[in-house]
């Protein structure tokens, strides 16, 4: 019984604990971010990595495995994310 509880806790942590991706812009006028590094366990580690690389324009985006499973898109690029016009059609039923 104890092993089942441990397994349930580990699965819950795996699904719901957020990880952070380091997204970088080359200049403040760029429209999109590019993925520089991923899978940081804390936002502080993500920011520290950006400071070590001396990046000026960065963002630490957090997500969990649960949200990745249920998300409707998987790209950081808005053009690719919203390129399917079928996603925005109104349901006439």
Q: What is the pLDDT of residue 3?
A: 92
Q: Going by C-beta distance under 8 Å and a sequence separation of 6 or more, which residues neighbour residue 86?
A: none
8-63 tens-digit pLDDT? 999 998 889 888 988 888 888 877 788 888 889 999 999 999 999 998 888 898 88
Return d(Cα 42, Cα 40) in angstroms, integer: 6
């Amino acid at each position: 019984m104890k092993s089942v509880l441990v397994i349930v806790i580990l699965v819950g942590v795996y699904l719901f604990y957020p990880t952070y991706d380091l997204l970088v812009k080359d200049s403040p006028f760029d429209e999109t971010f590019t993925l520089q590094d991923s899978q940081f366990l804390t936002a502080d580690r993500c920011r520290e990595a950006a400071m070590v690389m001396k990046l000026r324009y960065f963002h630490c985006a957090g997500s969990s495995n649960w949200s990745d499973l249920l998300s409707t898109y998987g790209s950081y690029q808005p053009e690719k994310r919203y390129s399917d016009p079928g996603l925005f059609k109104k349901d006439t039923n």
